[in-house]
Amino acid sequence: MSEVQKLTTASVLSLFSYNGLYVVAYGWLFGMSLWISFFGGVIAYRTLPRAQFGALQHKTFPVYFVLSIALGSTLLGLWTLDHPVVLTHYASPLVADVFQAYTLISVILSQASNYFVVGPLTSKTMFERMRMEKDEGKTYNESGVSDKMKALNRRFGMLHGVSSLANLGAVIALGFHGLWIGNAGIGNAGLKL
């Protein structure tokens, strides 16, 4: 039978460690990514009128992408500090710790491309389409819309698809990293922060 552990000031303060920080940052990033990608957006889409849904996404996604970049960068920094083999073998992706660093880099790059390039282009196209709907007096998906509206629809669909794939790639990478740290552990050199 294991010994009962009592909480002390020292035991509570010891929670603020490398492993504790890493797990909290990872849990925040993965949980947020799952919620935004598979639950929050779907609920909003089913609940809100299309214009309000678009406005909500326009405000929500930049915050999500910035937090993803910041948390992903934090994880990468902590991982690299605790796994020095990442710096000495960075060109060897088959080294497990290096591959995990590449996994985190893919999350950062996916969300950075969404924040800096794809997201703004998607929002711009969405708002152009909304203006054109007012000008034409038709919604984007009605028959008889102009060729310009059809072109905007194709552009929006393509941009939205690219954004969704980049985000899905980040979610899959985070899931893989979570499986890795769940099985292999977080710390390597026992770094204490």
Q: Which helix (H) or strand (E) holds 33?
A: helix 18-34
pLDDT in tens, the chain (193 residues): 688 989 999 989 988 888 999 999 999 999 999 999 999 999 999 999 999 999 999 999 999 999 999 999 999 999 999 999 999 999 999 999 999 999 999 999 999 999 999 999 999 999 999 999 999 999 999 999 999 999 999 999 999 999 999 999 999 999 999 999 999 999 864 444 4
pTM (2 d.p.): 0.91
Instruction: Count other Cβ atoms within 10 Å, centred on residue 177.
Output: 23
**Cα gap 142→121, rounded to integer Å:** 23
Predicted local distance difference test score (pLDDT) of residue 14 = 87
Predicted local distance difference test score (pLDDT) of residue 191 = 46
> pLDDT tens digit string along 152-183?
999 999 999 999 999 999 999 999 999 999 99
The 8-class DSSP code of residue 106 comes to: H
CA dihedral 180, 185, 191, 193 (to 10 degrees): 90
CB 119 within 8 A of CB 65: yes
**Cα gap 38→32, rounded to integer Å:** 10
DSSP-based three-state secondary structure for 142? coil
Q: ∠10-14-15 over CA atoms, to 5°?
A: 125
For 188, the token pair is 């390597």
